[in-house]
Amino acid sequence: MKKMQFLENIWYCAAYTAEVADKPLARMICGMPMVLYRAESDEVAALEDRCPHRQAPLSMGNVIGETIQCDYHGFLFDKTGACTHIPRQDRIPAANRVDAFAAVERWGFIWVWWGDQSKVDGTTIPDLSWTADENRRVQYFHWHVNANFQLMADNLLDVSHVDFLHKHSIASKIDPTAKQAEAPKVTMETKVKGDAVHSLRLVHNTMLAGITAAWHGSEGPVTRVSTGKWLPPNSCILKLQFEDENGDINETINLDHIMTPETENTCHYFMDWTWDFGGPDGYPDHDDVDREQRSLIECDDIPMVEAQQRNLELFDNVQDIPVKQDKFVNRVHKVLQRLYAEQGITERVEVTRMAAE
């Protein structure tokens, strides 16, 4: 198997908790077919998705206690990938094992360590502690996207698309061709701190439309406050708030968008949407959030990003032209260029395609 070039010694999100229940889950991460299973002890294991006997996918098997059983000839494997049982045979050859990947369940997601397994560091999983706040509700999502994971992450780092691509749902109420002087004032700051990139974008004194007006309970005017933090490999940890004219914030939504490469040009898109408004039976409830976010992301963002990917495969050597609003994306690409260079990774054109600002 050709090894693809992705950042190593880092956590990649592999699933959300509810996806790994009583049946093993087959999932390709960074080009590696993996099987995730939940043992009787509730611990989650991640192994290569192949049985070393005759290469059947272990994900077609069943969980027995702490082990997974291959469905072909019944060999059992433990969480370290070692074979623990061969039917009708006592001797187990030492080579009868597969690679295991450290797996940790945190904030409602399952994270796997990609790289040197002797360097696992549980402290570097992103902090998404609001998902555990009992005063909030959380809805989890997973999408499969036919595009490179960077294109999908860039979509989240680029709040400026919201007023256009999402004009029928979460956009502010604006005239699509308004000149700068007539449109609501936008201010944006970005800051790089180590490997993290932070952003703060304010849209001042703007009217809300569609579902954003429904979340807020009126059309405004409000200041839309978008706070962003990006962490490698590609977690976009975003917060959206609506500030009233008197400075009060009554709605806070944390939107954590976490991208994991499946292959070179396909990816997994994980998300939690965590909110603190609306009563237990009030709008928006879990079904509302599920319906609204699926509609936005499945009908607007993913089709656009997959179309970008197809275009990039049709046009050779094109360069992106940055504008002012691309600052956050650009800063993230710069950090990734450094991180890739540090690991000797040279072929990541998606972080070098944008021309200098």
Binding site for Fe ion (CB under 5 A): 301
Closer residue to ligand FES in complex, CB, 20/70: 70
List the one residue from 8, 28, 33, 53 that touches ligand FES (CB under 6 A).
53
Is residue 64 at the binding interface for ligand FES, with CB under 6 A as the rule? no
Closer residue to ligand FES in complex, CB, 51/302: 51
Is residue 75 at the binding interface for ligand FES, with CB under 6 A as the rule? yes
Answer with the entry of ligand FES, Fe ion, none that 301 interacts with (C-beta below 5 to 8 A by kind): Fe ion
List the one residue from 72, 141, 143, 277 that touches ligand FES (CB under 6 A).
72
Closer residue to ligand FES in complex, CB, 73/291: 73
**How many amino acids of this chain bind ligand FES (CB under 6 A)?**
8
Q: What is the smallest separation between the CB atom of 56 and ligand FES, expressed in angstroms?
A: 4
Answer with the entry of Fe ion, ligand FES, none that 188 interacts with (C-beta below 5 to 8 A by kind): none
Closer residue to ligand FES in complex, CB, 75/215: 75
Answer with the entry of ligand FES, Fe ion, none that 70 interacts with (C-beta below 5 to 8 A by kind): ligand FES
Q: Is residue 112 within 8 Å of residue 24, measured between CB atoms?
A: no
Is residue 225 at the binding interface for ligand FES, with CB under 6 A as the rule? no
Q: What is the smallest separation between the CB atom of 276 and ligand FES, expressed in angstroms?
A: 48
Is residue 73 at the binding interface for ligand FES, with CB under 6 A as the rule? yes
Closer residue to ligand FES in complex, CB, 90/182: 90
Q: Is residue 168 within 8 Å of residue 210, measured between CB atoms?
A: yes
Closer residue to ligand FES in complex, CB, 59/293: 59
Return the HEC string of the chain: CCCCCCCCCEEEEEEEHHHCCCCCEEEEECCEEEEEEECCCCCEEEEECCCCCCCCCHHHCEEECCEEECCCCCCEECCCCEEEEECCECCCCCCCECCEECEEEECCEEEEEECCHHHCCHHHCCCCHHHHCCCCEEEEEEEEECCCHHHHHHHHHCHHHHHHHCCCCCCECCCCCCCCCCCCCEEEEEEEECCEEEEEEEEEEECECHHHHHHHCCCCCEEEEEEEEEECCCEEEEEEEEECCCCCEEEEEEEEEEEEEEECCEEEEEEEEEECCCCCCCCCCHHHHHHHHHHHHHHHHHHHHHHHHHHHHHCCCCCECCCHHHHHHHHHHHHHHHHHHHCCCCCCHHHCCECCC
Q: What is the smallest separation between the CB atom of 102 and ligand FES, expressed in angstroms?
A: 24
Closer residue to ligand FES in complex, CB, 53/161: 53
Is residue 291 at the binding interface for ligand FES, with CB under 6 A as the rule? no
> Cβ-count burial of 321 within 10 angstroms (0-12 exposed, 13-18 middle, 19+ buried)?
exposed
Is residue 258 at the binding interface for ligand FES, with CB under 6 A as the rule? no
Answer with the entry of Fe ion, ligand FES, none that 329 interacts with (C-beta below 5 to 8 A by kind): none
Chain contacts with ligand FES (rule: CB under 6 A): 51, 53-54, 56, 70, 72-73, 75
